[in-house]
Structure 1
Amino acid sequence: MPTPLTLLEHIATAQRRHPEATGAFSMLMEAIALAVKIISDEVNRAGLGRMLGLAGRRNVQGEEVARLDEFANDTLVHTLTRCGEACALASEELAVPIRLPGSPDPAHYAVVFDPLDGSSNIDVAVPVGTIFGIYRRKSPEDRLAGAEDLLQPPRLLVAAGYALYGSSTVFVYSTGQGVHGFTYDPSLGEFLLSHPDIRVPSAGTTVSCNLAYLPLWDDGTQRAVRSLLHPPDGQPRRSLRYVGTLVADAHRTLLKGGIFLYPADRRHPEGKLRLLYEAGPMAFLFRQARGAESDGSGSLLERAPRTLHDRTPVLLGGERDVKEFLARRSGTDPDRT
């Protein structure tokens, strides 16, 4: 049986389809993959290496920072800075972006990332992940990168992806030509193609949300969720599945279908998830996998962030499931939409 393609071979194969490519993007992806391997190793032995617990400070959102949050953030910043192909970096853990000089030539990409999604789950050994997005530089190359390189709508992403650190480490990414997943083989030190050309099932059997917040949601969202979990007689009932790590919940939905939602509520009227680091890259991936995405009123891909840490409501899932959910939320008969 032939060995599956490695992640770097997959990227190189795609690069050969573009004769004008310089290899800069491939080097950037290689740096991200290296960071993910390092983070994965640390996550897997966190309990033995004194990486559990809090770092003793709060991030820009006022959230307590876990030690592994700091480690993951520092690892991504270091590897992306060293590769020399990023002009700017923005992280959920940083109050301001990092603007990088070209070395020796101008860099053409800006990278945004959530270094360790679900970090509140670390101490109880629940899966966590890393999310990233890559934009093409917009600022003049003869000066340092600016806000315009980072504050772009997700539809302009050159690539997006995530790593899931669970029973195995999985790396999923898209460059706008489908979505592909790779599983890490520690004996080889390589990510091997395990999920080629992922397609989200149009209709699934699960709902993924934090049901404890249901009383805080608007009436339409409450009605839609209740109708899925407690449907009229004769209609299929959805199962509730919720990990509390976006990467884990989105990964299951990407492969199995169903819907994931984190709506706005009375405490967070703008939503809770970050547009730049979480919602945007995930929306890009779901669209590329023939799924659907929404902020409840329109496409997440069209939302241009005003600041680095804008938040948004999020709905992800199969095309039919998302369409039906939005119809139920608005009080429309889903069979007539």
Structure 2
Amino acid sequence: MATEHAEGLTEIFDTVAALAPEIREALPGRRVKSDETNPSGETQLAADSYADELFLDRLGDLDGVVEYASEERTKAVHTDDDGQNYDAGDLSVAIDPLDGSSNLQSNNTMGTIVAVYDAPLPASGADLVGAAYVLFGPITTMITADDEGVTEYLVDDGTRQVIREDVTLPEEPSVYGFGGRVPDWPADFADYADEVEADDTMKLRYGGAMIGDINQVLTYGGVFSYPALQSAPNGKLRLQFEGNPIGFIIESAGGRSSDGSGSILDVEPTDLHQRVPVHVGNEGLVERLEAALD
């Protein structure tokens, strides 16, 4: 990883891993809805707010982190005394504290997504120095990506234990997952989906928490899409908290990301909660999708 960010990035990833057991253990008692909505208009669960406050407290205490933003907050929080002044080594963290929290009621997969930028937020994909996600499945695992590649860890007692290094997408893809209501899909995306579904080597894997679907793609190869919709031309997922970090991880693992026309990492940031269509996976599948949407 870049020398000036190596220590700060390691501290951030270690802190996220250290908090994972605490967040997981707190979930059973925080399945109820709160009286608040997040900036995207979604009703927050008590678990969303709890995880957000915990990450702000612990990540904000790190010397290298000068700005914190989450899907649950309207604005970014400056965590140092210098305001918006950026020095060499300073980092911003954008986080989805509990991706897929709607799955909590049904006890399905969820996780945490982390993007680390060396620029003020909102920032572009070019400003990413690292990204990660924690997956709360039957076991707790963590994927990290930096300029040295992608690594998978087991998170045990809040520490990271390497499972796989130099993680890359399998060359032969076998899974797909497409978000949004089918009647709301644009015709060109629906045609692409029909083509993928007609391939009997591909299996549907869609669980209602993006992070679980992404982990399936990273494990087995394939494609995940949350497209532009007729009712939502910019899609549903947020560029800062979901599109950029997931695009960075998949591209670092040898795959492709796209907003439908080019890499998600090239999308110009205009707003902290900006939405973007997200298509990620094996290069051939994403290239075919772009051709279908052209």
1:256 aligned partner? 220
- For 2:196 and 2:12, locate their aligned partners in 1 and report how far apart those are by CA, in whole Å: 42
1:229 aligned partner? 197
- What is the identity, as a one-letter code, of the residue corresponding to 1:197? D
Residue by residue over 1:272-330, the C-alpha shift from the partner in whole angstroms, topping out at 9 and shown as x without a partner, is 10000001000000110001110111110101220100001010111122223333444
- What is the identity, as a one-letter code, of the residue corresponding to 1:36? A
- For 1:176 and 1:41, locate their aligned partners in 2 and report how far apart those are by CA, in whole Å: 32
- What is the identity, as a one-letter code, of the residue corresponding to 2:115? G
**Cα distance change on mapping 1:155 and 1:202 into 2, 3 Å:** farther
1:169 aligned partner? 140
How far did 1:65 drift?
A: 0.2
> Does 2:4 correspond to 1:62?
no
The answer as to whether partners of 2:18 and 2:159 remain within 8 angstroms in 1 is no
Partner SS for 2:149: coil
Q: TM-score of the superposition, structure 2-length normalised? A: 0.92
How far did 1:230 drift?
A: 2.4
How many residue pairs are counted as aligned between the two chains?
290
**Cα distance change on mapping 1:53 and 1:158 into 2, 3 Å:** same
- What is the identity, as a one-letter code, of the residue corresponding to 2:25? D
Structural mapping, 1:113-124, within 5 Å? 113-124=95-106
How far did 1:160 drift?
A: 0.5
2:252 aligned partner? 288
Partner SS for 1:74: helix
**Cα distance change on mapping 1:201 and 1:162 into 2, 3 Å:** same
**Cα distance change on mapping 1:329 and 1:24 into 2, 3 Å:** closer
- For 2:143 and 2:58, locate their aligned partners in 1 and report how far apart those are by CA, in whole Å: 19
1:323 aligned partner? 287
How far did 1:123 drift?
A: 1.0
1:191 aligned partner? 160
**Cα distance change on mapping 1:314 and 1:131 into 2, 3 Å:** same
How far did 1:177 drift?
A: 1.2
Residue by residue over 1:186-214, the C-alpha shift from the partner in whole angstroms, topping out at 9 and shown as x without a partner, is 4xx4221012111012331222113x622
1:85 aligned partner? 64
2:170 aligned partner? 201
> Does 2:117 correspond to 1:135?
yes
The answer as to whether partners of 1:202 and 1:320 remain within 8 angstroms in 2 is no
How far did 1:22 drift?
A: 7.9
Structural mapping, 1:8-19, within 5 Å? 18=3
* Match of residue 277, structure 1, among 214, 223, 241: 241
- What is the identity, as a one-letter code, of the residue corresponding to 2:164? H
Q: TM-score of the superposition, structure 1-length normalised? A: 0.81
Partner SS for 2:181: helix
Residue by residue over 1:155-212, the C-alpha shift from the partner in whole angstroms, topping out at 9 and shown as x without a partner, is 22011010001101111111121100101224xx4221012111012331222113x6
- For 1:27 and 1:226, locate their aligned partners in 2 and report how far apart those are by CA, in whole Å: 44
- For 1:242 and 1:57, locate their aligned partners in 2 and report how far apart those are by CA, in whole Å: 28
- For 2:6 and 2:213, locate their aligned partners in 1 and report how far apart those are by CA, in whole Å: 36
CA RMSD of aligned residues (A): 2.1
> Does 2:277 correspond to 1:310?
no
- For 2:241 and 2:275, locate their aligned partners in 1 and report how far apart those are by CA, in whole Å: 10
- For 1:132 and 1:272, locate their aligned partners in 2 and report how far apart those are by CA, in whole Å: 18
* Match of residue 238, structure 1, among 190, 194, 202: 202
How far did 1:28 drift?
A: 3.0
**Cα distance change on mapping 1:22 and 1:223 into 2, 3 Å:** closer
> Does 2:186 correspond to 1:218?
yes
**Cα distance change on mapping 1:327 and 1:23 into 2, 3 Å:** closer
- For 2:140 and 2:190, locate their aligned partners in 1 and report how far apart those are by CA, in whole Å: 35
How far did 1:238 drift?
A: 2.4
1:32 aligned partner? 16
- For 2:10 and 2:170, locate their aligned partners in 1 and report how far apart those are by CA, in whole Å: 30
How far did 1:237 drift?
A: 4.7
- For 1:197 and 1:22, locate their aligned partners in 2 and report how far apart those are by CA, in whole Å: 17
How far did 1:39 drift?
A: 1.4
- What is the identity, as a one-letter code, of the residue corresponding to 1:153? S
Residue by residue over 1:65-117, the C-alpha shift from the partner in whole angstroms, topping out at 9 and shown as x without a partner, is 011101110110010122232111111000111012259x9771111000000
**Cα distance change on mapping 1:319 and 1:75 into 2, 3 Å:** same
**Cα distance change on mapping 1:82 and 1:209 into 2, 3 Å:** same
> Does 2:26 correspond to 1:42?
yes
1:74 aligned partner? 53
- What is the identity, as a one-letter code, of the residue corresponding to 2:168? R
The answer as to whether partners of 1:200 and 1:255 remain within 8 angstroms in 2 is yes
**Cα distance change on mapping 1:59 and 1:172 into 2, 3 Å:** same
**Cα distance change on mapping 1:108 and 1:239 into 2, 3 Å:** same
Structure with greater Cα Rg: 1
> Does 2:79 correspond to 1:100?
yes
Structure 2 segments unaligned to the other structure (5+ residues): none
- What is the identity, as a one-letter code, of the residue corresponding to 2:127? L
Partner SS for 2:229: coil
